[in-house]
Amino acid sequence: MCGLTGFYCPHSASERDAIGLDMAKAISHRGPDDAGVWTDEATGLTLAHRRLSILDLSPAGHQPMHSACSRYVIVFNGEIYNHRELRERLHAEGLQPAWRGHADTETLLACIAAWGMEKALQATVGMFAIALWDRQSRQLTLARDRVGEKPLYWGWQNGTLLFGSELKALKAHPAFHATVNRDAIALLLRHGYISAPHSIYQGIHKLCAGHYITIPLEDQRLARTAKAVPYWRMNDTIHAGLNDPFLGTASAATDALEKQLSTSIHAQMLSDVPLGAFLSGGIDSSTIVALMQAQSARPVRTFTIGFDDPRYNEAQHASVIAQHLGTDHTELYVQPGDALAVIPRLPEIYDEPFADSSQIPTYLVCQLARQHVTVSLSGDAGDELFGGYNTYEFAPALWKKISRLPAPLRSTASAIMSKLPASSWDSVLKVLGPLIPGRAGHTLSGEKIHKAAGLLSADSRESFYHRLSSHWERPEHIAIGAREPASLLNSPHDWPHTDSFEHWMMAVGTQSYMADDILPKVDRAAMANSLEVRIPMLDHRVIELAWRMPLELKLRDGKGKWLLREVLYRHVPRELIERPKKGFSIPLAAWLRGPLRDWAEALLDEHRLRREGYFYPAPVRQAWRLHLEGKQDFSARLWSLLMFQAWLENQQ
């Protein structure tokens, strides 16, 4: 695992190597073991690299790396898990070079030289970001893995092309101009993250997963208008799977999934440095660890963090699973102060505003693991691929009830409920609340009424899901000068065609929430600790198999991940697993009313908001007041504001 960066400046620029090394130094946490820089002086292209040595710890793995034919120069971040098989294939075709070492980067270069970029990418099994310079055609190609495990930013600034694994590398170049993209703030408020291809800075983009872009640097007009193209599409995989469903028995399906997961895990256990796994005690991580241990002659190193608050603690469950599997288990009970101490570092770790509060425990478990290993496997993606989120259960049932109401009635009710401001509803409820039976009289609020009004006005199940999963329903009413740009959830022409609402939610969630929230969260938290994290369920062959599995093998008997559970039950007794699902979270709502209150108050101060000019103070202050009074849990909404404010403060 590494970090890459570089730039192209067509005009005279002195000290290109020094600038490249400065850019690489900004991401030294991604690769503390080695650094390298190379410049094509005739063209004005510089490639720089930071290395975290995982495979081939010798100097033969140094980057930037030149191909054996001398045509290509590459900087590469990631792992090619099938690189040994690729070497065998090159040998069988008589296309192998004289190997200098056993680094997967050298393998990838040889594949590109033999087959071309697109065919080489399609042949790989792995996670990666790539910058490749073709010295013959004078073209720079940037590429990203199929699902977006590894990040890659790029864009033009003041006539200079910049690219890199993290924004901080781009910012280290003298040409970088940090102008905030206000439209991206709307995405942050809507989702808690900024979805690709957008970034927080104007003119800087995230390369989308499964895409590559070839930039002909000697033709400025073509270079500026180059477009990214896909070499792999998630929607194509979804459609292919649904059109070719698995027709065997449930037992045969379990066999197939266990075999493919085991194959993927075996490849991802390849490492020349110590390796372990995260173990939360949940379905996903327990399955990964169980299959790892089944293939290992020695106890697998496993790691978990716990909290004293039982509502957020799964450490005791992880300990029981570890004991049953016989792993070498390490756990750390985190005190509130430990978690709170991470918060000031978040703007630096994530580079752009990122508002999933589970970023805090994710950072802490990565920090724990890095004290013992350099590589850790993770159980992420099980929820998206096998139907684990509660939303997949209750959203279809709720939409079914709502959609039975006549559309005119829903529209009228929504308009009436929305017309009265939330604060006015609160005043009405103070009087009428005691007259409403049950708990509703105490928990109903103006904001909840407005949320219900938005759901009632949804004209489709997709619109219903979009509103249900939004933090702020109308971001443009919060962020000054922001217009929400296109994203998957508001772009019907990009939606996959599925056989059910449940599968549609899983398909969209994989390409939005997982791609733009889960994966950046894990990558930045891990790399901040110089830890490589691998995710076996994101092997594209696992994804392809998952989409061949019928929905009834994923959601059954009121539970998600049925098929994944069946694999796990072959290794761990059912009674050790069956319990209510817990997220990997912190008591954020209580912390904002307690130890984080002064910090949040300073960031959300009305005078400060007016001076900075990014948010309308009135709705922000109202949400903050209602949260402090305990009338609403607005922690998720507020966290998106706070992460932007903290990030903005860090820029100054």
pLDDT digits (tens, 9 = 90+) for 562-576: 999 999 999 999 999
pLDDT at 415 over 70: no
pTM confidence score: 0.93
**What is the helix (H) or strand (E) element at residue 306, kind and residue range?**
strand 301-307
In a domain, 424, yes or no: yes
Q: What is the pLDDT of residue 90?
A: 97
378 is in an annotated binding site: yes
In a domain, 523, yes or no: yes
Q: Which residues contact 575 (CB under 8 A, 6 or more apart)?
A: none
What distance in Å separates the CA atoms of residue 115 and residue 528, rounded to the nearest whole number?
35
- Residue with the bigger pLDDT between 42 and 362: it is 362
Q: Which residues contact 24 (CB under 8 A, 6 or more apart)?
A: 3, 5, 35, 36, 37, 48, 49, 50, 169
Average pLDDT over residues 94-104: 93
Domain of residue 619 covers 587-652
104 is in an annotated binding site: yes
What distance in Å separates the CA atoms of residue 125 and residue 475, rounded to the nearest whole number?
39
What distance in Å separates the CA atoms of residue 104 and residue 27, rounded to the nearest whole number?
21
pLDDT at 555 over 50: yes
Considering only CA atoms, which of 50, 49, 52 is closest in space to residue 526?
A: 52
What distance in Å separates the CA atoms of residue 520 and residue 358, rounded to the nearest whole number?
12
* Choice among 294-298, 356-360, 418-422, 615-619 with the minimum mean pLDDT: 418-422
In a domain, 396, yes or no: yes
Number of domains in the chain: 4
Same domain, 181 and 194: yes
Same domain, 479 and 605: no
Same domain, 32 and 113: yes
Given 2, 9, 208, 366, which residue is catalytic? Answer: 2
Q: What angle, 0 to 180 degrees and rounded to 10, lies between the N-to-C axes of helices 461-468 and 501-509?
A: 50
What distance in Å separates the CA atoms of residue 24 and residue 36, rounded to the nearest whole number?
8
Same domain, 348 and 408: no
Same domain, 329 and 407: no
In a domain, 581, yes or no: no
Same domain, 228 and 242: no
Q: The domain that contains 104 carries what CATH number? A: 3.60.20.10
Same domain, 261 and 209: no
Same domain, 523 and 477: no
In a domain, 227, yes or no: yes
Of 209, 232, 255, which residue sits at a domain end?
232
305 is in an annotated binding site: yes
Same domain, 124 and 204: yes
- Helices assigned H by DSSP within 244-282: 250-268
In a domain, 495, yes or no: no
Joined tokens for residue 236: 């194509």
Same domain, 373 and 396: no
Q: What confidence tier does 440 reach under pLDDT thresholds 50, 70, 90? A: very low
Q: What confidence tier does 441 reach under pLDDT thresholds 50, 70, 90? A: very low
Q: What is the pLDDT of residue 439?
A: 44
**pLDDT tens, position by position, 514-532:** 999 999 999 999 999 999 9
Q: Any catalytic annotation for residue 2?
A: yes
Contact 62, 157 (CB under 8 A): no
Q: What confidence tier does 557 reach under pLDDT thresholds 50, 70, 90? A: confident
Joined tokens for residue 376: 């850790």
Of 576, 603, 619, which residue sits at a domain end?
576
Maximum CA extent, the chain: 83
In a domain, 468, yes or no: yes
Same domain, 373 and 407: no
What distance in Å separates the CA atoms of residue 484 and residue 476, rounded to the nearest whole number?
7
321 is in an annotated binding site: no
In a domain, 491, yes or no: no
pLDDT at 320 over 80: yes
Same domain, 65 and 166: yes
Q: What confidence tier does 211 reach under pLDDT thresholds 50, 70, 90? A: very high
Of 484, 499, 520, which residue sits at a domain end?
484
